[in-house]
Amino acid sequence: MILTLTPNPSLDRTIELPGPLERGEVQRAVRASAHPGGKGVNIVRALTASGTDALALLPGDPGDDVVRALARENIPHLSLPIGAALRSNVAVTEPDGTTTKVNEPGPTLSTAQLTSLLELAVEKSDGASWLVLAGSLPPGAPDDFYARVIAAVRARHGDGAPRIAVDSSGAPLAASVAATPDLLKPNAEELAELTGISDGRSLEEDPSLAAGVAQKLVDGGVGAVLATLGSKGAVLVTADGSWLAAGPAIEAKSTVGAGDSALAGYLLGTLRGDSPAACLQQAVAHGAAAASLPGTLVPTLHQTHPDAVAVTALDARLGEHS
């Protein structure tokens, strides 16, 4: 079973336009949809769609729109009542796949509520294969919240602790590095910020450079880095090697949640016992399939095409950035 913790979930609304977004103008949408969201929630949605046992942990009252949507979609979840409404995020997509997002900050959780979330993750992670700590933190939460969860889970379960992945950004992602998670899943911009590179676009354009800076994180104790690079695919760096996977050509309809689906694909590969290169292949296949779907829809396993993903071994140390 794969467990995810999403401290700042959302109702993700997607508005599809018939043409380019025109600032300051009135435009009529061709379609609108809403799904329960937040990185960890999206990962569980993708895993469930592919027939994998998963559970989403999140704050939220039973009558909250996000929690009700999870129940409607039969997504396994466990929510902690907080007495406040969860946020809504809005994504506006253009016909060429360009996506503009506006994310609300979300409700502030008390110290007691954050502690309860941490304790819930510790309790439910018993026997799990993976624990994924995902997304932004609620306003006012300490930057090292994910690091605290990692420490608490490992202290409670010892050698029986699940492998732990972190998919976040900014200070929470940076603070988690010292806790040496088994996997980090940044995109190019997040990897650049984490490693002191001035422009994430340089990592997208040069996957070898991306692998090189990811190698430094692995050398520092992180188990592996799966860095998604947009249309360039993704790189995976572990202590045993580094690989680049180039995605298939697709007609992108919405990039919302594509990175979450990529992580879900990677986790699926690990559960099957696939090699690191094959796990990366499934990750990119999942991400590409998600980007080809409208709104925040997630692909089923049969909608992914890992055989169409080319994987190349890299020497990450040749791409190290000084």
Residues 6+ apart with CB under 8 A from 41: 4, 6, 9, 56, 58, 66, 70, 75, 77
Which pair of structure tokens corresponds to residue 216? 């430094």
pTM confidence score: 0.92
Q: Which domains does the chain have, with CATH numbers?
A: 2-319 (3.40.1190.20)
Q: Which of 53, 260, 307, 315 is catalytic?
A: 260
Closest-CA residue to 177 (of 223, 108, 126): 223
- Distance between CA atoms of 169 and 209, rounded to whole angstroms? 20
What residue has token string 């993704």?
A: 234
- Size of the chain, expressed as the number of residues it contains: 322
Cβ–Cβ < 8 Å for 152, 181 = no
The alpha carbon of 219 is separated from its chain's Cα centroid by a whole number of angstroms, namely 23
**Strand, coil or helix: what is 118?**
helix
Cβ–Cβ < 8 Å for 209, 232 = no
Residue-level pLDDT at 322: 39
- Distance between CA atoms of 215 and 218, rounded to whole angstroms? 5
Q: Does the annotation count 260 as an active-site position?
A: yes
Q: What is the pLDDT along the chain (322 residues), one digit of tens a residue?
A: 999 999 999 999 999 999 999 999 999 999 998 999 999 999 999 999 999 999 999 999 999 999 999 999 999 999 999 999 999 999 998 998 888 999 999 999 999 999 999 999 999 999 999 999 999 999 999 999 999 999 999 999 999 999 999 999 999 999 999 999 999 999 999 999 998 887 777 888 899 999 999 999 999 999 999 999 988 899 999 999 999 999 787 777 777 778 999 999 999 999 999 999 999 999 999 999 998 887 778 999 999 999 999 999 998 666 554 3
Residue-level pLDDT at 316: 62
Residue-level pLDDT at 197: 84
Angle at which helix 39-49 crosses helix 258-272, to 10 degrees, equals: 50
Residues 6+ apart with CB under 8 A from 199: 192
Helices (H), 104-229: 111-124, 145-157, 170-177, 188-195, 200-205, 207-219
